[in-house]
Structures are given as structure tokens and as C-alpha cells.
Structure 1
């Protein structure tokens, strides 16, 4: 008798729960949180705040940016992986935590594919291949020739081990056939740039946001762009791919994700509205000032892109015997 009563109670609860869900208003009917796994002030944070402002206008709900930096982006990414899949906690992630860490670390508290639903690409920031202003090479081909002739001393610098800057250098080193090109890691972009300006570093890949101003004031020489196509901000500068290394691409990016299990209708709603905001002239112009290009596109496109990035950088990390453990 007691088991029958318990079953009846469960059935009544299920019916009431269904009724409550159906009675809820359209998404979103309360504030939405977007977690950024980096400290405030960086490019991903700036993008997220611009997107949050646009979504707030479209939804009439507060869209709050929650910075959870630390541990190579792992802390903030895990927060969203464990969040309720209801569309009210989202993640604006970068390529490091989402497609590089999975190969850099033996163990992660999240799986970038299993634990997240892709929503939309947020932005792309080109990596600029820069050199000292007085370097005896002016493009990719002449640098490769110089590095081969000076293989005992030739180097490339990065903003830190396992960073997109480091992996771009490793990819270039491999594709250019420069096995003795020495990697010199720094703790951040600032000191790496200063030593490149000084001539200690022969070349480095760095985000346009930080190295671009030094190119414009002629303290750094721009050899090439790491994106697949030429960047509108540097229309006369060729890509690395068209400079003799076809297939090369290396850049940083950000994209919006939700916890796995988020209802497809909510994912679609977020994707459509975020895509509209990202394509607005105001947001595009604001990102150009940061040296970035606005993203957009479908969830399916982002899912394919993530798979490609994981495989690509996984190979670079494996071939270069790179680890962060």
C-alpha cells in the first residue's frame, strides 16, 4: 500500500512539475550569467561585455559577466561544465581552455566536447608574426632562409609555455623545416614584446591587440598574419600561408558555449540573438578597435571548428612533446 501511495505521489509530482515548466515564461525570464575564464580587462572580457550589452537590449533581462580567471582557464570552464543546463549560465571560452588544454594536461575536470553545447563564434584575434625593426629579413621566406643560416642562435619567443603564441611558433617551426629554432618562453606578452623590440627575440607570434601598436609606431616589423585570410586591419600584409607555408593558420578566438543538456530551443534562441548582436555595426566597430574581428555563425559550424582545432593543436603538442603537467 505504501509503495502505491509513493508511486502516486511521484506521478502527481511529475504532472505538477510539467505544468510548472509549461507555465514558465519564454526564455529568458530572469538574469543570464556569462562566465569568462579570464581576469577582467582582456579581449575576451571586452567582447563578452559588448555582447552582454546587446543581449540585454534584445531580451530585457540583465546579462551579467562573471570573471573566473585562473589555472589556464580551467577554473571558469569547470564552473559552467557543472552548472544547470537551463540556459542561465553560459561560457565565453577561448581556444586555450577549450581546444588546447585537452592535449596539454593529462587530466581536466571537464571534457570540451562532452560537457558543452557550442552556440556561436564570438571573435577572432589575429596572431601577428613580428620581428625586430632592424632585423635582416622582411618576410617569411627571408626569415626561414636566415634561420637556416643561423641555426645555432635562431630563436622564436612566446608569451608562455602552452600558449597560442607558443603553439603557433611550434607549428611554424615544423612546417618551415626548422628543427633547431629555439623556443624562448616569457611570462606574458609585455616582456616578450620588449625583448623582440630589443632584438633578443628573432621572431614571435603575438596577438594584434598587444603587438599591433608597436608595429604601427615602427618598433616592430610585421612579417605576416596568422589567419587564413588577410586581415582587414592589415590589408597589405600577406598571411603566413600565402608566404610559402600553405595550410598554416594560427590565431586566438573566443566562442559562446552552454552546459551539455541545455534544451535545443534555448540554444537556438541564444545563437540567433547572439549572432544578430555580433553582426551589428556597433559591435564590429568596437572589436576592430581591439584588433579583433567579430564572429557569428551557427552552432553546427562552431562544433565542426572546435573538432578541427582540437585535432590540429593536439598534433602540434604531441609532435613537440609539450606538456603542462
Structure 2
């Protein structure tokens, strides 16, 4: 009888251990089965802008690589911080991803007292995807046809001029602030808009004078003659605008500025899931088709893996801090 009872206890313990083993193994099993349902890529800006454009190109290819549905969800507002906060609180399971531009690494330098998340610690930097120079363009009624002439005209009558920016802290905002500082122009306001579309609409309409903006949103307006490009902010001329000089060629000695685009997930993303997404990103960004499509929109592939992207973010934040401090940019 004792042996029977003892045997029963052994079987019960074995069954319990077996169940525990299944429970303990399930997270790893879930990771190995990733993905098994729809993946959402959060874009913290309105549709139609540069971030949205890059995200939709990437999402279309990601679904083919991971063999699962991928949807883009726009959660705009507060210079991208509403969407970022949503992702920071999301479950780190690989089903909520996040694509944003360099503004993600600029916001914490500007909104130190009000930001509700840590832009580094609350996210997993998965991969850098692309970068693009900005177009420095003006309303056609602005008389200047060069950067140096623009500087001369603005200094002569600063009250006639304004800069637009598609978002406070965006690459275009910092680019414009750096330009105004280096040109020794202090009285021209930078007007904040909620997205590229309204900013460009007012620029075309003449309500503002100039903008630095990614090619995806500005290039069609330049090509159609609704805006006039004075310069591009990259290290070399764009093949899409071969007659437009770089800022350095236009007399701004060390001026070079890009908007870059990356893929993040919530912090503590399991290594197995990170590895799958990272590998898919590398394959997508390395494809000739993606290069061709990005080139046509004024971007270039700038893939970095998770470790390299993390290091790049740290170096860029140090550079942005110097610009913000030098140009005395403050929130509010």
C-alpha cells in the first residue's frame, strides 16, 4: 500500500513537473513561432510625410519576409511623442514595432521636463533603415535664387521672412535653426506645423517663406515649380536635382544635415524575435528594389544592425545637443 501511495506521489510530481516544463517552455516556443499574427508598425506622424512613406515601403516588404500581415498605424501628435509613448508601453513581443525619423532622438533633448518615456531605455533599437538630405526651398515669390542672396535679403529686411518646420525638433527644424545661427540671422521666426502637408501648403501659398524638408514631400513641389530649391543639405548633389548645389557649395562651409529613419520595438524585446526582425530588415534594405524605390524618393539605404544603430543614436544625440545648445532652441 505504501509503495502504491509512494508511486502515486511520484507520478503526481512527475506530472506537475511536466506541466511546469510546458509553462516554462512556452515563451521560448512563442518566440520560435514568431510571427503568428498581424504585426503593427506605429508611425507617430500623419500620413503622407517622409516617415510614413518610408514605413509603408518597409511594411510592404516585411510582410513578404516574415510571411505575416503587416499594417501601418498612424498615431500623430506632440512631435511624434504620442505614438512613441504608445509603443514604449506596448508588450515587447514583436507585434508592435515603430518607425520614426531622427526626431525620436531629438525630442528628449528638448522636452526634458514633459516627456513621458525614455527614448533610449524604453525602446529596442532594431535597425537603421535609410537617410535622406533635406531640400532648402522657398516660395517662388521670394526673390533670392541662391542661399547667399537669401541671407543678404533676409538681413536687409528680416520682418518679411519666416521659416516653416513640419514638427518641433524635426530634422528640418534643427537644420533651419543651424542655418540661421551660422548665417548670423536672429530675427526670423521658425513657424511650427503639425506635419509636412500643412507646412508645405502654406509655403506654396506664400504664408511662410522657406523650409528645410525631406525630398519625399518637397521634391514634387519643386519639380512642378510650386517651390524653388536653393540647395540640398547632403554631402553631394542629388541625382534628382542635379542643378541644385549642396549647402557647402552654396557657401555654408561645414553644413551637412540628414533626416534618418529607424525601426524600434519596445524595450526588452526577446533576442530570438529581435534576430528575426533584424535579419528581415537587413535583407529588405539590401535588396536592389528597395534601393531603387528609395532613390526615386530622394532617400538612400543606410542600414545598420541593432548594435550599430544603438551606437549611432548615441553619437547623433550628442551632435543634436550641441546644435540645440548653440542655437538656443527651447521647447515652448
* TM-score, length basis structure 2: 0.80
Using the alignment, how far apart are the partners of 1:288 and 1:120 within structure 2? 19
Once the two structures are superposed, residues 306-325 of structure 1 have per-residue CA deviations (whole angstroms, 9 ceiling, x without a partner) of 22332333333344444445
Given candidates 245, 250, 265, the residue that maps to 2:252 is 245
Separation in structure 1 between the aligned mates of residue 200 and residue 29 of structure 2, nearest angstrom: 57
- Give the one of 293, 300, 313 matched to 1:306: 313
Alignment equivalent of 2:109, drawn from 91, 103, 108 = 103
SS in 1 for 2:265: strand
Which residue is equivalent to 1:210? 217
1:17 and 2:15 correspond = no
The CA distance in 2 between the partners of 1:253 and 1:297, in whole Å, is: 11
Q: Structure 1 residues 271 and 12, CA, compared in 2 at 3 Å: closer, same or farther?
A: same
Distance 2:207 2:74 in 1: 35
275-284 vs 73-82, which deviates more?
275-284
Instruction: Give the match for residue 56 of structure 1.
Output: 63
Q: Does 1:138 align with 2:141?
A: no
Pairs aligned (count):
317
Q: 2:75 matched to 1:75?
A: no
Contact 1:127 1:227 in 2 (8 A): yes
Contact 1:131–1:202 (CA under 8 A) maintained in structure 2: yes
Question: Contact conserved, 2:79 with 2:169, CA < 8 A, in 1?
Answer: no
Q: Which position in structure 1 is the counterpart of 2:232?
A: 225
CA distance in 2 between counterparts of 1:70 and 1:322 reads: 20
Separation in 2, partners of 1:10, 1:75:
45
Offset of residue 121 of structure 1: 1.8
Q: Quick check: 1:83–1:89 contact (8 Å CA) kept in 2? A: yes
RMSD: 3.2
Confirm or deny: 8 A CA contact 2:233 2:256 kept in the other structure: yes
Alpha carbons of structure 1 residues 323 and 14: separation in structure 2 relative to 1, 3 Å: farther
Displacement after TM superposition at 1:187 (Å):
5.5
Contact 2:45–2:195, Cα closer than 8 Å, also in 1? no
The alpha-carbon deviation at position 104 of structure 1 amounts to 2.2
Structure 2 residues without counterparts, runs of 5 or longer: 1-14
Further displaced range: 9-18 or 202-211 = 9-18
Aligned to 1:28: 34
| Corresponding residue SS for 1:246 | coil
Over 3 Å counting, the alpha-carbon distance change for 1:52 and 1:135 in structure 2 is: closer
Query: Does the CA contact (< 8 Å) of 2:129 and 2:304 recur in 1?
Result: no
Normalised to the residue count of structure 1, the TM-score between the two structures is 0.82
| Aligned residue among 293, 298, 318 for 1:286 | 293
Partner of 1:45: 52
Check if 1:157 corresponds to 2:181.
Answer: no
Shift of 1:117: 1.7
Distance in 1, matches of 2:134 and 2:77, equals: 23
Residue deviations 1:136-190, cap 9 Å, x none?
Answer: 4332233333333445645433345444333221110112222334434456545
Q: Which structure 1 residue ranges, 5 or more long, are not aligned? A: 1-8
Query: Is the 1:28–1:61 Cα contact (8 Å) retained in structure 2?
Result: no
Q: Please tell me whether the aligned partners of residues 79 and 167 of structure 2 are also in contact (alpha carbons under 8 angstroms).
A: no
| 2-structure distance, mates of 1:102, 1:134 | 37
Question: Partners of 1:116 and 1:206 in 2: how far apart?
Answer: 26
Between structure 1 and structure 2, the one with the greater Rg is: 2
CA contact (8 A) 1:126 1:252 kept: yes
Moved more, 286-295 or 273-282: 286-295
* Offset of residue 12 of structure 1: 7.8
Superposed CA offset, 1:23-55 (max 9, x none): 456352412332222334443233323322322
Residues 164-218 of structure 1: CA deviation (Å, up to 9, x unaligned):
3332211101122223344344565455445545666443212323322222123
